[in-house]
Structure 1
Amino acid sequence: MSETGTSTSPAKAALAAYIAGDRALAERLYGEALTQNPDDATALQGLGVLRFEQGRKPEALALLGRAATLAPGNAGIRRNHAAALAVAERFADAAEEYRAALAIEPDAPTDWGRLGSVLAEIDRNDEAIAAYQNALARMAPDAREGPALLRRLGRVQRSAGQTEAAIATWRAALERAPGHAGVAFNLGNALKELGRNAEAEAAYRQALAIDPRLVRAQVNLGAVLHLEGRLEEAEVAFRSALAVDPAGEDARRNLAIVLNDLNRGEDALRELQPLLAGAEERDTLRVACVLYQGLQRPAEALVAAERLLVMTPGDGGALGARALALLALERREEALVAAEAAKVAAHDDANALNNAGVVLRTLGAVDASIDCFRRAIALKPGFADAHSSLGIGLLAKGDFARGWPEYEWRWHTRDFRRGLRRYETRRWQGEPRPDVTLLVYAEQGLGDTLQFARLLAPTARLVGKLLFETQPELARVMRGLPGTEHSFARGGSTPAFDLQVPLLSLPALLRFPLDRIPGSVPYLHAEPTLSSAWAERLKALPRPRIGLVWQGNPRHPNDRNRSIGLAPLAPLIRRHDAGWVSLQKAGGAEAIAAQELSARIFDATAELEDFADTAALCSQLDLVIAVDTSVAHLAGAMGRPTFLLLPSVPDFRWLLDRRDSPWYPSMRLFRQRHFGIWADPLAELDIAIAQLLQGRR
């Protein structure tokens, strides 16, 4: 704010005293001038400026306003009045005064810039952008004020949703003034918003090169690296932020999230602990819910979720976290209520909708879960967990056309991302390539490999040669798979290849419907010499010979629900005179002894070194009864008659409600009708065994 204009003699003397720094003399002389002429606009302005400097803002505004009224054509007086109005946060009035000054002096770039600033304060962004652009157009390219105007213009453009324009503006600002860390930081934020992570990373690194202590840039750099899956580098960025500001909560929370994604849950919780001591911060509690859940500490996850609900009743995120915790605690009815509440409450929270969907799907509400996942994706289109979960839900309903492409998002989720092979050769996209050698590699469990090996033959017809890498336990049984040039065990040397693809990506590439799954069954066979040896070993057993598997992999997250144990099967084994054969490797002998069934069950599982031995034994059986585990897939792939016991909410591959499997024509499914209750499928199994025995008499 400065004094301007012509004046009477005392007012001119006052201005001179003001310029000389003698404020007391200037104030006295302005008073004299106004005593002589109360309508002296210049004196009113001068005294108004002094009053403003003295902090007597209401008097200053009154004096400057009167001066502007008396001298409407004086650009300087209107400009000073506008500046005072802006300081008083009367931004709309200030804008009108700046426009009045510009009507008199339209080529004043400073006034255009100030007009832009007051318009930005009241979110009249389009007008603010125009004002800033007018200022820049009237300013020399090398003007000292240029970079500051560009910085402000970029901020308004981004607020107006013109992110691309803001990026161009901030780049121009950095060209003129490369040493401004804040501009590089803002540029990084805009690029991150558009998903241009590599450019955002470069901008954040530029900001940090200018100011290594700019904590916000370190935190946002870590966030970009996290998004890119560069977790170790993200950890370094967050730790660097904490080295500068050990109390930085954003950096500490984000570090905990990254450590959790690195499967270092205990380390993550240790880092978060300082924030949890008296946590009243919602974001901290949300992260705590995730960490406790991942560490299988659902009781603590529930406490954190309920603290969140006390702070924000009805919060969708807290309800979703509570539903997950209740589910893990097997409080299923409460989990269902919480998930349904989260589905309703989580209007704009993609994570909460995803959590609700996971709980609903686990509890058998597949359609409701699909709705949750779709809503989550609508809010967050690149949400890999929601896409992958949507795929699983659609596949459970038999919607292969939409389910398999969604399931491909698994490679962007935490659980799968770190297992993705980083080959220099590109991935096969399903196109016919008779000139190439394709490597297909097993990616998940043994049962998955056994099931989807069926697709190798139709895949082989599209390429020149097909190589198949499998788990060591399956290497021998996979020899001679139809269409496979060479199968080999993981961990050894890999033959040369041109293209590669994970095994469970074949369904999305081959694009087949549920009723036309390619490949024929059986596609796995026992080695004749091994089969003959088992035939000799089992010849004394009565027919039918029935194999048994009652327990899956105890490390599987759903093993508790899908395994039945031997005890519930014991009455059937005692009641039906058959040649019972154990196929249960882990803990089988101990379970047989505990149930006092050693005289009823033939057990030679200690001699089964791999699945080739198990296949040979299965080849001599008339029926395999199994829970959802790899032996069931082996028997199905061999075309052996198989009775499969399933929980009420089984894996997606077994679909919903069906009694048969489109993957294994020789398989019959026995499903729980109610969660955890095996009585119904066991009663049906009892009848089926009796019918089998009756048919052989």
Structure 2
Amino acid sequence: MARGAKTPGSGQPPRWADPRNPLAAQQAALIRAGIAAYEAGDVDAARARFRAVLDQDIEHPDALMGMGIVARAMGQHQTAAELLRRSVAVNPRSATAWSNLGNALQDLDLWDDAVRANEEAAKLDPAHPGIRQNLGSVLNSIDRPYQALPHFREALKATGSPIDAVINYATVLSRVGEYGAADRNFKRALKDAPSSPVANFHYGMNQLWQGNWEEGWPLHEWRFLSATYAGSLRQISITNPLPESFEGKRVFLFREQGIGDELRFATMVPDIAARGGDITLECSAKLMPLLARSFPELHLVEARHLAVDRGEEVFDIALPTGSLGQYVRRSREAFPRNRTLLRTDGARVAGFAERLQTLGPGPKVGLSWRSGLRGRLRSDMYASVEDLVPLFRVKGVTFVNLQYDDARAELAQVKDRFGVTVHAFDDLNLFDDLDGSAALTRALDFVVTANTSVATIAGGVSTQGVEFFGRPIPKGYPIDGRDPWFPSIRPMGKRPSEPWSGLMREIAKVLEQVTRRGTVPDPAGDA
């Protein structure tokens, strides 16, 4: 496991790597036995063998690495990281130890450190496909798919064409906007593994993103068989296919995925509710006030409604909202263009409108530039406040913060460096109080946001806006230049290799149009 290590400054290998040392040979045999036991699933036996080596040499790097891997398998992530740090400190030339350290650091959400550990591993052993896969995976996990792509490509070259490598490559191609190349590689994987849940699901997602709705929705149903969505499985019998009429039936529609997708899929609930029946809609607690007001004819329950999983409450029909598309959104023509999803609290909207007027003349523009998830990390998919400079140069605009995590440092940076105030309502919790967030968004004239739930809330209340992406928008996705799910939102994208400045200049032109006409007409009022 540890190759070519030498005692620093001596030119001689350390005792644990010296082939002339009988004890080193015995320890190496124990470590090989430990690896074999671990790979066979016998964690206790593996730990015993690594422990036996450490009893003889507490700083044996391969034994430390083995114990770190065992600790990680047991969910002891902090211990695993510490053991693997000790391993690379003793033998910094071990690419395998660095790669395993990167895995352990991911478990602790130490993503920048995980990237550095995997980069060190790739420097030491650039031809190792597993190390390349690990580095590509960690970069992709922190929304840097463009940087991940060459590592997946190199791993694929090194290993031939294993299915997992082809699927990883195709998925990242889709994330960076190489949709045609992604399709070709998904088809390549499915030719050899037609029943692969991961390949079918991600290929389906690529089809939906390109507006190929009829082909994409059936493939989307593979998601629950993939590891990504395994945690979303419910102890509920899914109804498939749905009957045309629900009359006399009890129906349970349950949520899945994040707030953005929950709202997106909720746009299909009125179509399903038109089939009649007694419908119960499960939703996130944070969305309960909004959706209860928006769907007064439905019975709402907070997620996760375990009474259904336990069989204490029985329904005739049950389906996740993410599965409704195959029934009611199979073509462009099936997407409503004049419907407002969310009914906001009128009193709160009026209160925010009054407060916004005190900020001065001109349109009030909500602003959000990145996801809150690992928001401090550099990302190919999201902009930084420095990237927004073309927006700040537009005269006559009053900016209002919609960034839903702690953005105080970034807002101060905008004020100090660019002389622009992005007004924040500190008494509104944009993360937890989504009813208030929707009311504020409804009171705004326009929204400029990254691809986050801020965009779906704006679309849900029919506030006009731009949603920007770090990848190109496929030609087939928009309908008349607007988001198919939320017609008040205009999606705009760029290639990951391009700087944000070009796209932001295009968005700035949109803001200038907003400024010239004063306010943006609201396409649909609250019912």
TM-score (structure 1 length as normaliser): 0.55
Match of 2:292 in 1: 479
Aligned to 1:668: 490
Q: Among residues 386, 411, 427, which one is paired with 2:238 in the alignment?
A: 427
The residue that corresponds to 2:524 in the other structure is none
- For 2:424, the equivalent position in structure 1 comes to 603
User: How far has the Cα of 1:633 moved from its partner?
Assistant: 0.6
Partners of 1:632 and 1:644 within 8 A in 2: yes
Identify if the C-alpha distance between structure 1 residues 452 and 674 changes in structure 2 by more than 3 Å, giving closer, same or farther: same
Kindly provide the amino acid, as one letter, of the partner of residue 635 in structure 1: A
1:363 aligns with 2:176: yes
Root mean square deviation of aligned Cα:
4.7
Please say if 1:679 is aligned against 2:501. Answer: yes
Query: Matches of 1:526 and 1:414 in 2, distance apart?
Result: 37
Q: 1:573 aligns with which of 392, 398, 401?
A: 392
In the TM superposition, what are the counterparts of 1:410-425 in structure 2 within 5 Å? 410-423=223-236
CA distance in 2, matches of 1:324, 1:333: 12
Q: 1:636 to 1:259 in 2, by over 3 A?
A: same
Residue in structure 1 matched with residue 463 of structure 2 by the alignment? 640
Matched, 1:563 2:386: no
1:545 aligns with 2:358: no
Look up the match of 2:446. 623
Counting helix residues as a fraction of each chain, which structure ranks higher?
1
Contact 1:635 1:642 in 2 (8 A): yes
- Go from structure 1 to structure 2 and tell me whether the alpha carbon gap of 1:676 and 1:348 turns closer, same or farther (over 3 Å shift): closer
Q: Distance in 1 between matches of 2:147 and 2:439?
A: 47
CA distance in 2, matches of 1:649, 1:558: 22
Q: Which has the larger radius of gyration?
A: 1
Aligned counterparts of 2:153 and 2:437: Cα–Cα separation in 1: 45
Give distance in 2, aligned partners of 1:336 and 1:653.
23
**CA 1:437–1:263: 2 relative to 1, 3 Å:** farther
How far apart, in 2, do the equivalents of 1:568 and 1:492 lie?
42
Question: Does structure 2 retain, via aligned residues, the 8 Å contact 1:549–1:582?
Answer: yes
Structure 1 counterpart of 2:469, which letter? L
Aligned residue number for residue 161 of structure 1: none
How far, CA to CA, are the matches of 1:654 and 1:455 in structure 2?
20
Q: What letter is aligned with 2:434?
A: F
- Would you say the 8 A contact 2:267–2:341 is kept in 1? yes
Contact 1:458–1:518 (CA<8 Å) still a contact in 2?
no
Q: d(CA) in 2 for partners of 1:320 and 1:524?
A: 42
Structure 2 residue corresponding to 1:405, chosen from 215, 218, 221: 218
Mark the CA change 1:559 to 1:512 in structure 2 (over 3 Å): closer, same or farther.
farther
Kept in 2: contact 1:377–1:383 (CA 8 A): yes
User: Which of 529, 553, 557 is the matching residue for 2:347?
Assistant: 529
Write the mapping of 1:284-363 to structure 2, written as runs, cut at 5 A. 288=100, 291=103, 295=107, 296=111, 297-302=114-119, 320=133, 323-324=136-137, 336-343=149-156, 346-363=159-176
Instruction: Report which stretch shifted further, 485-494 or 666-675.
Output: 485-494
Find the partner of 2:263 among 443, 446, 450. Answer: 450
SS at match of 1:501: strand
For the structure 1 residues 507 and 519, does the alpha-carbon distance in structure 2 shift closer, same or farther, using more than 3 Å as the test? farther
> Take 2:86 and 2:254, find their aligned partners in 1: how far apart are those partners?
44
Q: CA offset at residue 635 of structure 1?
A: 0.8
Structure 2 CA distance for aligned equivalents of residues 290 and 384 of structure 1: 27
In the TM superposition, 1:22-171 aligns within 5 A as none
**CA distance, structure 1, for counterparts of residue 143 and residue 357 of structure 2:** 46
8 A Cα contact 2:122 2:131, kept in partner = yes
Asked if structure 1 preserves the Cα contact closer than 8 Å seen for 2:201 and 2:223, the reply is yes
Using the TM superposition, give the Cα deviation of residue 500 of structure 1 relative to its aligned residue in structure 2, in angstroms.
2.8
CA contact (8 A) 2:80 2:104 kept: no
**284-293 or 406-415, which deviates more:** 284-293
* Alignment partners' CA distance in 1, 2:162 and 2:231: 26
Instruction: Tell me: CA distance 1:369–1:257, structure 2 relative to 1, closer, same or farther (3 Å).
Output: farther
Q: Which runs of 5+ in 1 are unaligned?
A: 1-214, 224-236
- Identity over aligned residues, as a percent? 21
Stretch moving more, 628-637 or 525-534: 525-534
Amino acid at match of 1:442: R
Match for residue 62 of structure 2?
Answer: none
Contact 1:550 1:627 in 2 (8 A): yes
Equivalent in 437, 447, 450 of residue 250 of structure 2: 437
Output the amino acid matched with 1:353.
Answer: V
Whole-Å separation in 2 of the counterparts to 1:604 and 1:448: 26
Give the corresponding residue for 1:375. Answer: 188
Q: Which has the higher contact order (CA 8 A, sep 6+)?
A: 2
Distance 1:287 1:552, change over 3 A: closer
Q: Which amino acid aligns with 1:594?
A: Q
1:40 alignment partner in structure 2: none
Deviations 1:665-689 (A, max 9, x none): 1112232245361111211122212
Report the CA distance between 1:649 and its aligned residue: 5.3
Q: TM-score, normalised by structure 2?
A: 0.70
Which amino acid is the alignment partner of residue 454 of structure 2? V
- Return the offset for 1:354: 2.0
